[in-house]
């Protein structure tokens, strides 16, 4: 085999090769789900993704004998500096052949770039932030990823750790079964009591998001999101421009049945966004919408029977009112109405005791773990 070389991505053609690296690496893996190529091209476009308004990044391709055998990004997010402090860089979009030389070259390129920016630590993977896909899969390899989750083979962990990276944080995906109302009987009694308190004592009203005013609803959701997660490890508030960008990307996915707002005296004080697991459909599309992808997508959406609880939060001053518990119960009610059997909730930080205990109280099981790594520079 020839020597591994690495170079930065400069052209649209090279960007497409960057996007398609995992197609080559994972095409024989039954669990892997191909991303939509056009969506990834948009996400990585410096002119379109508002992430680049407050961050700088370099994209690297690793090649051997003319074939792409790996990829990585290195980035500095100035909003991370503002809200998390320190002098961190991140790496992301990490994909590699099962080859220590390839992994070493990729991680060295990201590390050297970060050092050139005067950074003191490199952390990742993040694609690009903790509001996006994060971590390397370390448990749950036999399970298909759900929407907005990556899948990696076991050797990724070994290759990263061999280059001197250590654990920074684990995040967890909990599986919940809620196909009928009776399954709600397995909830810890305190969850039902808190849900009743929110409804009867606190005067909290839970309603569905209104699709006809989705742009405004997404902003209301993000107001809650930024307040509710403000103290979490690694959290950086999402900007208005990023809200609009994400809303556009999720427009065809968001289902009013699974998007909730909690109101107190007409003010939105909590929100929950659960997404149909479109990976059940996109698995068959191999990353393409043409010539028949759109048809498969539209027809397949009707058959989706699992969901991912993407985000659920309550403004800090209302976190004692039982709103989260009422959201949990509402999921059971909706699942019974529309025929959904269950799904996953995450990412949940391993150190987030209230959320992890809530998942236990609902009869949940941890089915996947993702790890973020760090290395001092």
Measured CA to CA, the distance from residue 82 to residue 104 in angstroms comes to 31
Measured CA to CA, the distance from residue 287 to residue 104 in angstroms comes to 28
User: Which domains are seen in the chain, by residue range?
Assistant: 8-170 (3.40.630.30), 175-369 (3.40.630.30)
Instruction: Count each helix (H run) and each strand (E run) in the chain, helices first.
Output: 12, 15
| Residue 198 predicted with pLDDT over 70 | yes
Mean pLDDT on 296-304: 68
162 is written with which tokens? 């061999």
Please report, for residues 82, 137, 180, 211, 363, the alpha-carbon distance to residue 316 in angstroms, rounded to integers and kept in the order given. 21, 31, 31, 26, 25
Least confident piece of the model among 8-12, 212-216, 333-337: 212-216
339 is written with which tokens? 């025929």
Which tens digit of pLDDT belongs to each residue from 29-88? 999 999 999 999 999 999 999 999 999 999 999 999 999 999 999 999 999 999 998 899
Give me the residue label for tokens 């994060």. 134
Look at residue 296 in the predicted model and tell me its pLDDT. 60
Mean pLDDT for all residues in the chain: 89
Which tens digit of pLDDT belongs to each residue from 345-373? 888 999 999 889 888 888 889 999 999 99
pTM comes to: 0.92
């Amino acid at each position: 085999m020839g020597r591994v070389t690495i170079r930065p991505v400069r052209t649209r053609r090279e960007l497409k090769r960057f996007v398609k690296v995992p197609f080559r690496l994972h095409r024989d893996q039954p669990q892997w789900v191909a991303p939509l190529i056009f969506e990834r091209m948009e996400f990585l476009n410096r002119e379109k993704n508002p992430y680049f308004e407050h961050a700088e990044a370099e994209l690297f391709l690793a090649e051997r004998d003319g074939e792409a055998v790996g990829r990585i990004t290195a980035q500095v997010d100035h909003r991370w500096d503002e809200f998390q402090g320190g002098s961190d860089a991140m790496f992301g979009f990490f994909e590699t052949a099962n080859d220590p030389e390839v992994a070493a070259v990729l991680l060295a390129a990201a590390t050297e770039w970060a050092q050139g920016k005067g950074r003191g630590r490199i952390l990742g993977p993040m694609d690009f932030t903790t509001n996006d896909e994060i971590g390397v899969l370390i448990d749950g390899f036999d399970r298909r990823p759900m929407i907005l989750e990556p899948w990696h083979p076991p050797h990724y962990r070994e290759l990263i750790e061999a280059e001197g990276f250590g654990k920074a944080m684990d995040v967890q995906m909990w599986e919940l079964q809620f196909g009928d109302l009776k399954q709600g009987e397995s909830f810890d009694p305190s969850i039902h009591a808190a849900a009743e308190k929110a409804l009867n004592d606190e005067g909290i009203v839970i309603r569905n998001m209104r699709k006809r005013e989705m742009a405004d609803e997404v902003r209301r959701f993000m107001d809650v999101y930024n307040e509710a997660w403000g103290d979490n490890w690694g959290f950086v508030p999402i900007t208005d421009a990023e809200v609009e960008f994400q809303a556009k990307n999720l427009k065809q996915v968001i289902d009013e049945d699974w998007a909730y707002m909690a109101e107190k005296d007409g003010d939105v004080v909590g929100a929950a966004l659960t997404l149909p697991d479109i990976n059940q459909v996109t698995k068959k599309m191999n990353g393409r919408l043409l010539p028949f992808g759109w048809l498969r997508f539209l027809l397949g959406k009707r058959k989706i029977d699992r969901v991912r609880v993407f985000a659920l939060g309550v403004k800090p001053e209302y976190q004692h009112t039982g709103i989260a518990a009422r959201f949990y119960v509402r999921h059971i009610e909706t699942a019974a109405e529309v025929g959904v059997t269950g799904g996953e909730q995450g990412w949940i930080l391993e150190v987030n005791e209230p959320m992890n205990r809530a998942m236990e109280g609902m009869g949940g099981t941890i089915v996947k773990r993702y790890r973020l790594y760090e290395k001092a520079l």
